[in-house]
Structure 1
Amino acid sequence: MFTVSSMRARIRLIIADGLGRVDLVVNNAGVMLAAPFADGRAGEWQRMIDTNLSGALRVVDVFLPDLLAAAADGRTADLVNISSVAAHGVFPSFAVYCATKAALSHFSRNLRAELGPRKVRVTSIEPGLVATELQGHVDHPDVNAAIDDWREAFDWLSDADLAELIAFTVARPRHVNFPQIVAMPTGQV
């Protein structure tokens, strides 16, 4: 039987054996469900909380010792949390999704205050619409129609756009940190 502490250590060892010691963590797991609050979709709310917030906290918990060690060794250490413009916006039918992303962005700001003095850079990237499978989770006919309209109206960001942004961000000199980046498709308002 594994304890939480031994499980964290085991995960770090498995990754270190295959890839080396971690000095960059990109926290990107997420689920976006149209769950109008009045519909009482408690299972969907919990799924978003578990993935978007609790999952992100667990990833940080597992890899923080490696990031702190890398920074203490004088290496660059980065934690990049992928949040969303939904952290700041109002999107009908997405109240819980927006709340989880707001919590992740706020967590990032506070974690940066805690880890920055220890030379670990924390960045929250908050993209607008990105052409990924995320919208495929939506099962609400009115929202699906709106998403289809947006796909036709303007070019969305791609996963490659975000990868490029992450690469640029973490390639800065060790003393430079972008705490928050909002990246939007030009046509999205």
Structure 2
Amino acid sequence: MNHPALAARTAVVTGAASGMGAATARLLAAGGARVALLARRTDRLDALAAELTAAGGQALAVTADVTDQASVDAAAKAVHHAYGRVDLVVNNAGVMLPNPLSAARLDEWTRMIDTNLTGALRVIRAFTPDLTAVAAEGRTADLVNVSSIASHVLFPDYAVYGATKAALTQLSAALRTELGPCDVRVSTIEPGLTDTELPGHIDNPELREQLGAMFTAIPALAAEDIADLVAYTVSRPRHVNLRQSIVLPTRQA
């Protein structure tokens, strides 16, 4: 069913192949938005685009790697060719690779920084001109960055992941000073324990088991819960910016 505040909007969702990205894309498309699905896994994107289209929505699968500038440039070109200017960007692509700092995992540090921070910046660079142009026409323009409670809650062995998310939250705050005067809203969503694919990327057996125990002890948020918050955030009147939302499972302190 179309949502008045989402119908006729044009959205880009990164990390759309699974989890929060896929759930957000589903909800935005159900609300009437045209949704460009960006992620690395073409098969997953094609399946999701087919699902959304079959349900009466509009979706475009665009294979993209946010750690690769040429890939992001090509994706932006494909989105613009198909849909024109974008008025809603959800920066959701992210990786979580915990390990003690003493493990000196430069490969993991680089991947997290390139994805969680620089990747978000590449997407912002690609679509901010669209957002400012749309806002100048008097329409609603949104940039939503999906961060984490790890940006401000300290977890042993998650130092670099937490640092990338703190940087993303800080980036959002700073961007509000630049984009707010142009009537572009910048919002940060900081989820707590959420059931996504992220734990599957962890190669440290002890930390993987530790996280699994948390999921056993605490009924986690679903990806759909985060999607619901994103949709609520971007459907407020255009003069209202929900600047930072922290969302936790009820049993998580």
Q: TM-score, normalised by structure 1?
A: 0.93
Indicate whether 1:67 and 2:131 are aligned.
yes
Query: CA offset at residue 127 of structure 1?
Result: 0.5
Compare relative contact order (CA 8 Å, sep 6+) and give the higher one, 1 or 2.
Answer: 1
Find out whether 1:129 has 2:193 as its counterpart: yes
Separation (CA, whole Å) in 2 of partners of 1:162 and 1:58: 23
RMSD over equivalenced CA pairs, Å: 1.8
Q: Following TM superposition, by how much is the alpha carbon of 1:34 offset from its aligned partner in structure 2, in angstroms?
A: 1.3
Q: Looking at secondary structure, tell me which structure has more helix per residue.
A: 1
Work out the percentage of aligned pairs sharing the same amino acid. 54
Q: Is the 8 A contact 1:11 1:62 kept in 2?
A: no
Q: Give TM-score, length-normalised by structure 2.
A: 0.70
Question: What's the counterpart of residue 87 of structure 1?
Answer: 151
In 1: Cα distance, 2:109 partner to 2:165 partner: 13
Greater displacement, 118-127 / 15-24? 15-24
Give 5+ residue unaligned stretches, structure 1: none
Residue by residue, what CA displacement relative to the aligned partner does 1:116-166 show, whole Å, maximum 9, x if unpaired? 010000001010011000111111122111111111112111111111100
Partner of residue 162, structure 2: 98
Q: Which moved further from structure 2: 96-105 or 132-141?
A: 132-141
SS of equivalent to 1:92: coil
1:19, CA displacement in angstroms? 3.0
Task: State the match for 2:86 in structure 1.
Answer: 22
State the one-letter code of the partner of 1:164: D
Kept after mapping to 1: 8 A contact 2:72/2:123: no
| Alignment correspondent of 1:142 | 206
Unaligned runs of 5+ in 2: 1-68
- Is 1:108 the counterpart of 2:181? The answer is no
Deviates more, 1:153-162 or 1:106-115: 153-162
Distance in 2 separating the partners of 1:7 and 1:144 = 31
Whole-Å separation in 2 of the counterparts to 1:6 and 1:93:
33
Taking the aligned partners of 2:97 and 2:75, their CA distance within structure 1 comes to 29
The aligned counterpart of 2:51 is: none
For the pair 1:157 / 2:214, whether they are aligned, the reply is: no
Q: 1:6 to 1:139 in 2, by over 3 A?
A: closer
Aligned position for 2:119: 55
CA pair 40-164 structure 1, distance change in 2 beyond 3 A = same
